[in-house]
Structure 1
Amino acid sequence: MGGLPPGFRFFPSDEELVVHFLYPKASLLPCHPDIIPSLNLRHVDPWDLDGKALQGGNQWYFFSQRIQNRVSPNGHWMPIGIDEPITSSNKVVGMKKTLVFYIGEAPCGVKTNWVMLEYHLLDSSTNSSSSGNRSSKKRGHQRIVSDNWIICRVYEASCDSVPSFLNDETELSCLDEVFLSLDDLDEISLPN
């Protein structure tokens, strides 16, 4: 993982993701270590993140451009709940949006257990750095911060640790439905 010694694990807090990774990316500043890749949400389904996004345990991290419709090759991300503020030094520096992946076209589809936490900066964070040790001016010019970048944390919620917003016992994941449909194979007559 990007030159880190053995034993180190990538498990950042919400604040660390916004302050130490998203803000430098949006400000066109170097991020050390530069370990989080950029992906286009429209070109990747959540089960295809392995090997493309940075994996930390059972979670995947990546930067993406902020887009209105979060559509992928096989489905779409649907926002749920309200955005939550991310604070640093008692100041709101970003927001976190929770989304669930659905297979199929919006607004319908089959709900899955894939969850994405999408972090974005606030407009107020564009004029000063939230990390505290950086100046908001560089070589006499105000630093430019783009609110077009987001950082995403994606994971598949397991059945025994499904977050409360996904705890709907009547819905099955797409893989559960596929496995259950395999039980019907004995009813299918195959040609000789």
Structure 2
Amino acid sequence: MSSDLVGFRFYPTDEELISYFLDNKNNVHTTAQVPSMATFNYNNIMPEVDLYGDVEPWQIWETYGGSELYDQDMLFFTQHKMVNPDGLRIQRKVGSGGTWSEGEPGKLIFDSKLMQKPIGQKRKFRYEKKGSEHNGCWYLEEYSLLSMNSASYVLCRLRQNIRKGRKRKEISLRQESPMNYAPVGFRFHPTDQQLISYFLHKKVTEEASLYSYKNIVCEFDLFGSTEPWEIWNMYGGHELRNQDLFFFTKLKRASLKSSRILRKIGSSGTWSETDASKLIKDEAKQKHIGRRRKLRYESKCSKQHGHWYLDEYSLLDSESDYVICRLRKNDKSSPPSSEWNGNKRTYSALCQESKETLSSVTNKKLLRKQSNETMNVNNKKNNTLSDQTIAQTKRMQPGTKIKLFGVEIDSDLKYV
């Protein structure tokens, strides 16, 4: 009997899209290590559609259920259309008068294990049609293999420029047996509502039903003596890509009867609240079911100060001290090491080189600008001096000797 794997959504990485899905579609030998259970039917998730034909992007979106998705994009296999059958130029027209226009240069996608080996390319396009209400409202990310021909497939991610606050439903993943790992591209990305109404509620009322998730949502003391980065490494956070870690933990009160919660961690750290808490609503029942608090790790004497975040979810009207927490790393404070493992030139070194190059170019431009300004000032001075000297010469008596630019001349000379 099948069961829904709650919280799993299709979030493939760029590398997976090329090394697994696109390679297999084009019958290219793939080097990706795919789990044996990954015989999942992706036809409904990545259908084959003509994205450069007569159908408008929003019509494709509606036809394939894009309006019902939650925080997800749509993926399609498609083939290029050449302007000339014998040429190399690709036609990117769509619908009645629309065009997919490239917004920035293409980006090479590398094998994460062999960073020096590019496996494909990613290009970004935007729908443009002047006068249309959909102008600029649709984006297309096109993934292609490095060695292609006119018959080769490309894999495209179609997404809508969604205004803040719009909500959609997630793709449901169903599996026949208790889950050890999900098919390629699926990751544990539960919504706030799922974390409270399903996981936390079942933890408090019927814990045995969460057996399938025992290795995904573990129980650990997040307000104890263990540092956040130690917890992160203990549970494999350093090996994750585009994912966070989830834990059940119990709140610690200042005393048995106190409502004040102690949120100390490690030897000197504290989980400090960054924003006002937010009520989480059950959309189906139209009522509030829990609360989310956003916390940040703070320890001024530690190099990890501000490098870790904790989202704490709690039930409303519950006497249980259990909460479910999302532990995540502040990516802005440190480079994504998983993308650069094995590369001799580290991420920080590349960033430093980039900064030095940019600084050098900027300095050269400033020097050139200063030099041009100095020359202009000198030219103005010389021109002013020349005009003044000529004017004085015109007022002098005949036979008077003057010096012009270091040369002695007669004032009898005529100036035109």
The interval holding the TM-score normalised by the smaller chain is: 0.5 to 0.7
- Report the equivalent of 1:136: none
Find the partner of 2:40 among 33, 43, 46: 33
- Report the equivalent of 1:122: 146
Aligned residue runs from structure 1 range 31-180, under 5 A:
32-35=39-42, 36-41=46-51, 42-48=53-59, 49-52=61-64, 57-67=71-81, 68-74=90-96, 75-88=98-111, 89=113, 90=115, 91-103=117-129, 111-123=135-147, 148-159=152-163
Q: Say yes or no: does 1:16 pair with 2:38.
A: no
Q: Once the 2 structures are TM-superposed, how far is the Cα of residue 28 of structure 1 from its aligned partner?
A: 6.9
Distance 1:52 1:69, change over 3 A: same
Structure 1, residues 78-112: CA drift from partner, whole Å, max 9, x if none? Answer: 1121000011121210000100001369xxx9731
Q: Select the structure with the greater relative contact order (CA < 8 A; seq sep ≥ 6).
A: 1
CA distance in 2, matches of 1:157, 1:70: 20
Q: How many pairs align?
A: 136
CA distance in 2, matches of 1:4, 1:65: 36
AA aligned to 1:58 is: Q
CA distance in 2, matches of 1:10, 1:52: 15
8 A contact 2:80–2:150 mirrored in 1: no
Unaligned runs of 5+ in 2: 30-37, 82-89, 165-416
- CA RMSD between the two structures: 3.4
Structure 1, residues 34-54: CA drift from partner, whole Å, max 9, x if none? Answer: 421100111432212234378
8 A contact 2:123–2:143 mirrored in 1: yes
AA aligned to 1:37 is: P
CA distance in 2, matches of 1:69, 1:17: 23
CA distance in 1, matches of 2:100, 2:3: 32
AA aligned to 1:52 is: Y
Q: Once the 2 structures are TM-superposed, how far is the Cα of residue 159 of structure 1 from its aligned partner?
A: 4.9
TM (normalized to structure 1)? 0.59
8 A contact 1:119–1:152 mirrored in 2: yes
CA distance in 2, matches of 1:84, 1:32: 30
AA aligned to 1:99 is: F
State the structure with more CA Rg.
Answer: 2
The percentage of counterpart residues that share the same residue type is 25
CA distance in 2, matches of 1:84, 1:37: 24
Unaligned runs of 5+ in 1: 127-144, 161-192
Distance 1:118 1:150, change over 3 A: same
8 A contact 2:99–2:128 mirrored in 1: yes
AA aligned to 1:92 is: P
Distance 1:112 1:81, change over 3 A: same
8 A contact 1:78–1:101 mirrored in 2: yes
SS at match of 2:62: coil
Distance 1:4 1:28, change over 3 A: farther
CA distance in 2, matches of 1:4, 1:20: 26
